[in-house]
Homo-oligomer: A and B are copies of this chain.
Amino acid sequence: MDKRNTQGEAPGDLAGLGEDRIIELFSGGTVRPPVITAIGDDCAVIGPYEGLVFLWTADMLIEGVHFIRSEIPPEDLGYKSLCVNLSDIAAMGGEPLAALISLSLPKDLPSEWIERFRDGVFDAGEKYHCQIAGGDTCGSRNSAAVSITVLGKAVEQEVLRRSGTHTNDDIWLSGRAGLSALGLELLNRNISNDGATGAFSCHFRPEPQLELGRFLAENRLASSCIDTSDGLVIDLGRICRINNCSATIFEKQLPIVEEARSFDLDPIELALHGGEDYQLLFTAEPGDRARLEKNDTIQRIGSIEEGTMGITLIRKSGEEETIVPRGFSHF
């Protein structure tokens, strides 16, 4: 929740290097069996074994960066920590198997805190059929860190990937865009009533779209897929970059959180740039439109275009606007 920007840092430090370049540093090696996909998708893909592949992901939540300990109930933090990992499994059309939970905790943390955190992890694990299979616990100097890794499985031919979309494919999005960001904004303003928007619940307890992911995978309905963790524009930008394409999205089709206006917030801004929704953003052939429209958890928000012009927003007025990513940057 610490929205740090990259300006003002020396060029030789990580802020100058940037997150994407850091990830690139680790993607030098050749991919050899049984690793099928390494860096660059929501999960690593390992296999196949008996026609199955394993989806494998890891995500850290750091105190002071991803959460402020006094602001998030420990059970919600536990729930969320597991769910952000499960969201990566959902984005590839998989089914979770098990998780390892690693914790680095200050030793003066009340033991009640860890029990409540555990309850939240177990709640999410039970709800989404993901066993807790182990982990690691160690001390920390002052702040808590949660690092979770999840293993899931999928049928090899059904795996959803970030790559694979074509020009004229529709762009679809599940859920309400910007709902988690609204929750964060209200928290930052010390507003404790989210006006029945579900913003706090979305922010503290995001629900991984495993059912939707499985539906898309089993029915081969998505030509590409990613979960929205860093913001719609950033994550759609990733799809565009990998597929060498552009995207157009329509303001009037965005599933925005209208109620944000009553808090003096722009729901379009939240929808485009707000992070942590953990919804599925996917592309599909226009021929599948009728079939997908029957699913009322998803909304067709735009289409894939030729070229590498980035992301264009068509305003309700008909005006076209190039949208520059500005979600959360870690460095």
Task: Given A62-B104, A138-B62, A151-B46, check contact A122 B13 (CB 8 Å).
Answer: no
Q: Chain B contacts of A331 at CB under 8 A?
A: 105, 107, 139
Q: Is the CB of B107 within 8 A of A137?
A: no
**Interface-side segment among A19-27, A156-164, A269-277, A300-308:** A19-27
12 of the cross-chain contacts (CB-CB < 8 Å) are A14-B109, A16-B111, A22-B103, A22-B137, A26-B134, A29-B125, A40-B134, A49-B50, A56-B133, A62-B141, A65-B138, A137-B330
Task: Given A34-B97, A131-B38, check contact A107 B60 (CB 8 Å).
Answer: no
Task: Given A12-B111, A131-B32, A139-B65, check contact A58 B100 (CB 8 Å).
Answer: yes
Q: Chain B contacts of A17 at CB under 8 A?
A: 111, 114
Q: Which of B40, B60, B122 contacts A147 (CB 8 A)?
A: B60
Q: Is the CB of B107 within 8 A of A330?
A: yes
A1-43 to B contact mask, C-beta < 8 Å, 1/0: 0101000011011111101001101111101101100111001
Q: Is the CB of A28 within 8 A of B98?
A: no
Q: Chain B contacts of A28 at CB under 8 A?
A: 122
Task: Given A39-B134, A107-B331, check contact A46 B97 (CB 8 Å).
Answer: yes
Closest 3 CB pairs of A and B: A147-B147, A44-B133, A49-B49
* Interface hits, A87-135 → B, CB 8 Å: 97-98, 100-112, 114-115, 118, 121-122, 125, 131-135
Smallest Cβ-Cβ distance to A330: which chain B residue: B139
Q: Is the CB of A4 within 8 A of B151?
A: no
Q: Chain B contacts of A98 at CB under 8 A?
A: 34-35, 38, 44, 46, 56
Q: Is the CB of A110 within 8 A of B13?
A: yes
Complexed CA–CA distance, A216 and B106 (Å): 38
Q: Chain B contacts of A136 at CB under 8 A?
A: 58-60
Q: Is the CB of B108 within 8 A of A46?
A: no
A57 at the interface (CB under 8 A from B): yes
Smallest Cβ-Cβ distance to A85: which chain B residue: B136
Complexed CA–CA distance, A140 and B2 (Å): 10
Smallest Cβ-Cβ distance to A133: which chain B residue: B44
Q: Chain B contacts of A106 at CB under 8 A?
A: 14
A166 at the interface (CB under 8 A from B): no
Smallest Cβ-Cβ distance to A126: which chain B residue: B29
Give the shortest distance, in Å, between A298 (CB) and chain B (any CB): 27
Q: Chain B contacts of A115 at CB under 8 A?
A: 25
Complexed CA–CA distance, A34 and B44 (Å): 19
Complexed CA–CA distance, A330 and B151 (Å): 27
Smallest Cβ-Cβ distance to A13: which chain B residue: B108
Q: Chain B contacts of A138 at CB under 8 A?
A: 19, 60, 62, 65-66, 330
Give the shortest distance, in Å, between A138 (CB) and chain B (any CB): 5
Complexed CA–CA distance, A62 and B143 (Å): 11
Q: Chain B contacts of A249 at CB under 8 A?
A: none
Q: Is the CB of A135 within 8 A of B102?
A: no
A286 at the interface (CB under 8 A from B): no
Q: Chain B contacts of A9 at CB under 8 A?
A: 107-108
A64 at the interface (CB under 8 A from B): yes
